[in-house]
Each structure stands twice: as structure tokens, then as C-alpha cells.
Amino acid sequence: MTKELTETESKRGLQLLGLAEGPLALASRSPRRRELLERLRIPLFFVDVDVLEGDRATDERPEAYVQRLAERKLDAALDEADRRGAYAVLSADTVVVVDGDVLEKPEDEADAARLLGRIGGRWHDVWTGMALEIIGRRERATCAERSRVFFDLEDHEVRETYIETGEPMDKAGAYGIQGWGGLFVPRIEGDYFNVMGLPLSRLRRLCLELEGKAAP
């Protein structure tokens, strides 16, 4: 469980997010997603999941792929989340897409250089799939959110220096917009938090949908 909250903080955070109750279990190892949810000051805990990734079929659309992986993570976390008393479970998966190719996390530094070379000096898409389920009702909602990002890094020497920081190694497309990678993002179309891996506004809409409320 995250840092202890007062009852007032918990109620306020849940109301703003759109959930009737808590806690929320996040089925993700991503420190960026954990950080974003902790900022909301809601009752929250984390469930580590280890599921198969990288099995996208050649004709599978990126948005369908990230939704499928998000649901796979959610399914893997349900039992533990239920045992630990979660009201709802959230999972997410993020990929970068360029020229129709899905770029996931780099395997090593050479792969990071290859991925950064693909996206440098051009636009690419970032897709995040989310799955949210209220455990007691076994009701689930899913979605995929898209943002467009221009990544202005073509200099080979600077690219190698960026790789040396280690930041690219656990991120789809081999960059993190919230860190040094943000130095190379002059333009973005869509939700910034989606590029971090968790589109907060879309998450609120999912919560309201499951709670039977219409988003404004």
C-alpha cells in the first residue's frame, strides 16, 4: 500500500478519479504509472505481473495489441488483487509505432540505438491500452489512447550519450518523455501522460463508465 492517506484525502482522490470506492490495484511494474497514480492521493497498491509480451500478429492493429496485453496483465493480477481487498484493478501497456511497425522496449543498447534511429527526426505514434475491472461486479472496460510525438534526435553522438544514461532501456521506443528524452520532444499531439504510459483523463472516463456515470 502507498503512503497512508487520511479519510478525507482518500474520498477526495477517488471522487476526482471517478471511482466509488478503493483501493485500486495497479497491475504494472512501470515506475512511471505508479508515480502518476500516487500523485492522485487515492488508496492504492501494486501487483507485479509477469506475462508474455511481444507476441503481436503481423496483421494485428497496434491499438488492438495494447488492449490485449493490458487485459492479459489484468487477468494475471485479479486473484491477488481480490485477495488483498482491491475494489478495482487497472492494467496498461504502451508501445511506439512508426511506419506501421511496433517498437517495444529495447533488448540491449544496440537495439536502443536502432529504435532511436527509427524515430529520430520524425513523428511517431504512442499507443497505450488500458483495462479496468471492478472486482465485485466483474465488470470490465478497455480502451486504447493514441498520441503523436515528434522526436528531434538525429545526432549520433548525442544519441549514444543518451543511451549511456540507461533511461531508454525499460521504455517502449527507447525514450522517456518525463526525463532526458523530453529534451528531444518539441511537439506533441494528444495526451502527454499517455506518452508516459497512463493517460489520466481517459482513465477517469473508464472509471466513470464502470460506475455508470457519464463523463462531462
C-alpha 90: how far from chain center: 10
| Bridging pattern class, strands 44-46 and 24-27 | parallel
Q: Is 101 a catalytic residue?
A: no
Which of 48, 55, 93, 99 does the annotation list as catalytic?
93
Please give the positions annotated as active site. Answer: 93
